[in-house]
Amino acid sequence: MSDMEEVIATCRDTMLTALEKIGGQSLICSWTRRDGSVVKMMLEIRTSDQTTIGDAIRSMDDEEMARRLVPNVLDALGEDGQPSEDGVRDWLEMPESYLKY
């Protein structure tokens, strides 16, 4: 296991322990490295059969995309200007229940 993998595993385990102790469903940790870059790590507990936004999009037809997807994308990803690739990926991995429309 590389040093990076070990750090990620330690962070994940620490976050899981914190969630268990407070009874939470999700936790976001953020820290700044010495070089000034910011690292964010999110952990969300959900059932394995829960449909994600990405899963929902894959099963949408054109009409449903126009009705549900476009308004949600504009709401969720357009708030702070152009979204980052990581922001889009994080949004696609959220549970389908996060879709407002």
pTM of the full predicted structure? Answer: 0.37
Three-state SS for 31? strand
Least confident of 3-7, 45-49, 54-58, 61-65: 45-49
Give 53's pLDDT tier (boundaries 50, 70, 90): confident
Integer Cα distance of 81 and 95 in angstroms: 23
Which of 13 and 27 is assigned the larger pLDDT?
A: 13
